[in-house]
Amino acid sequence: MFEKSLWVFHLNSGSCNGCDIEVLNIFAPRQDVERFGIKLVGSPRHADAIAFTGPITRESLPKAVEALKAVPEPKLLLAIGSCACGGGIWYDTYAVIGGVKEFYKILKEEYNIEPPTTIYIPGCPPKPEAIIYGVALARKAVKQKQKKEIYIEELNEDMRREIAEILFSEAKGTRHFLPNIVVKTKEGEESES
């Protein structure tokens, strides 16, 4: 999808700075991702991707929506850090929305916007290597290692079909990068994708 240079607009949606300095860190000499054509830009209108750091506070919500709207299609959202991924430690306090998943609900209900393709980079803060890996994933430069695992003691034919249906409907209903799915049973492993 993004095989060439990825320009990123970095939006601090209520982060503690930890993720922000790690995002800046990947542009410093040790990692220097500009050599891959990744660049921070000053306006969302110039960006291919928007990077959220922080649990999205009540105050920053309208601004985050505006910024996301301004990014041209096709767009990508990088949720950097545990807070952006799922709200982190503040997931249910009065002052925050609670991560991009809640943000997408609000986007759909109140603004009627389809959520963009999303890459989740958890960690508190994620290491620079993890952030680079996430971006590389978006560019299809690496294969996704993460798997969704389901453990079932005994598996019969009906259940197998049922599970497969649920998983595929999950995959259809979302534009997110779906992890490879492995169903584990007592006898061994069976994989679907």
Partner 1 sequence: MILDILRKNDAEVIRHDERLIITSVPNEKLEEVAKELFSANCYYATGVGVDERGMSQGFAIYHIFNSENEGKYIVIKTFARNLTIPSITPVIEGANWAEREAMDMIGIKFDGHPEPERLILPDDWPEGLHPLRKDFPYNKRPPSIKPKSRVKKKDPNTIEVPVGPYHPALHEPESFELYIKGEEIVEAKYKGFHVHRGMEKLAESRMTINQIPFLAERICGICGFTHSCAYCQAVEDAAKIDVPERALYIRTLLLEIERIHSHLLWFGVVFHLLGFESGFMHTWRIREDFMNLAEILTGNRKTYGMNLIGGVRRAIDESKKRKVMRIVEGSKRDTVEIFDNVMGMRELLNRMENVGVLPKKEARGIGVVGPTARGSGIDTDVRIDHPYAAYGELEFKVPVYKTGDVLSRVLVRYEEVLESFWIIEQVLDQLPQGDIINENYKIPEFAIGLGATEAPRGEDVHFLITERENKVYRWHPRAPTYNNLPALPIMLVGEKLADAPVIIGSIDPCFSCTDHVSIIDAERGKILWKGPLNEGVRTWGG
Residue 13 binds partner 1, judged by CB under 8 A: yes
- Given the structure tokens 């969704």, which residue do they identify? 148
The answer to whether 12 contacts partner 1 (rule: CB under 8 A) is: yes
Sign for the CA dihedral angle at 125, 131, 137, 138 comes to positive
Q: Indicate whether 75 belongs to the interface with partner 1 (CB under 8 A).
A: no
The site string for partner 1 over 124-163 (x = CB under 8 A, - otherwise) reads xx-x------------------------------------
60 binds partner 1 (CB under 8 A): yes
Regarding 45 and contact with partner 1 (CB under 8 A), the answer is: no
Per rule CB under 8 A, count of chain residues that contact partner 1: 41
Length of the chain: 193
Q: Is 48 an interacting residue with respect to partner 1 (CB under 8 A)?
A: no
Question: Does 188 contact partner 1 by CB under 8 A?
Answer: no
Q: Binding residue for partner 1 (CB under 8 A) from 42, 73, 112, 158?
A: 42
Cα 144 to Cα 37, 55, 69, 156: the distances in Å are 21, 25, 28, 29
Query: Buried (b) or exposed (e) across 163-188, using 16+ Cβ within 10 A?
Result: beeebeeeeeeeebbeeebebeeeee
Helix axes 128-138, 18-25, angle to 10 degrees: 70
Given 33, 47, 79, 90, the residue binding partner 1 (CB under 8 A) = 90
Identify the residue among 38, 55, 132, 135 touching partner 1 (CB under 8 A).
55
The verdict on whether omega for the bond into residue 125 sits within 30 degrees of 0, i.e. cis, is yes
169's tokens: 């409907």
Q: Indicate whether 59 belongs to the interface with partner 1 (CB under 8 A).
A: yes
Amino acid present at 54: G
**Contact with partner 1 (CB under 8 A): which of 25, 117, 180, 185?**
25
